[in-house]
Structure 1
């Protein structure tokens, strides 16, 4: 089953699916957003680039297409994007 997810008044949209665990693929429109996690997540930038502020980091780091970052369960992280960015997120590994 494919699920449509929409956040921040439609500025972030994704399609969720199960394939050896829960995953989403989506697009983030330009802006700055904060996401909360309930499970461990691995996010991969598919196209474009995003700046990310992880919970344990003192500064923002830029991730480009093909790069990934990990976020622990029960935490939050911030992203900033200047142009639309495509991503893949894998949950609960």
Structure 2
């Protein structure tokens, strides 16, 4: 069934589920800056709001708005900065 996840003292919450393309999560983030590690390739889509992203090896933040997506390879870390409350969809490959 569904699995719920909570990170950063409840400021990031997600629900895991299965899609035709494989495992995924939908979630929300409160305003703030967060760092995540990956164990699989992740394809993350912003569905609402603005999320700034700093990908591995980069020193620059890139703004992602609703409809934008970015890819993070497995076994690495990336940083995000939620500008206000945001929602996202993440596919795991």
The TM-score, its normalising length taken from structure 1, stands at 0.96
Alignment partner, residue 24 of structure 2: 23
Aligned-pair distance for 1:58? Answer: 2.6
Q: Report the Cα distance in structure 2 between the residues aligned to 1:15 and 1:81, rounded to whole angstroms.
A: 18
Q: Report the Cα distance in structure 2 between the residues aligned to 1:24 and 1:56, rounded to whole angstroms.
A: 25
Q: Report the Cα distance in structure 2 between the residues aligned to 1:82 and 1:57, rounded to whole angstroms.
A: 19
Alignment partner, residue 45 of structure 1: 46
Alignment partner, residue 81 of structure 1: 82
Tell me the secondary structure at the aligned position of residue 75 of structure 2.
coil
Q: Report the Cα distance in structure 1 between the residues aligned to 2:29 and 2:23, rounded to whole angstroms.
A: 19
Tell me the secondary structure at the aligned position of residue 62 of structure 1.
strand
* Runs (4+) off by over 6 Å: none
Count of matched residue positions in the alignment of Structure 1 and Structure 2: 92
RMSD value, Cα: 0.7
The TM-score, its normalising length taken from structure 2, stands at 0.96
Gaps of 5+ in 2: none
Tell me the secondary structure at the aligned position of residue 81 of structure 2.
strand
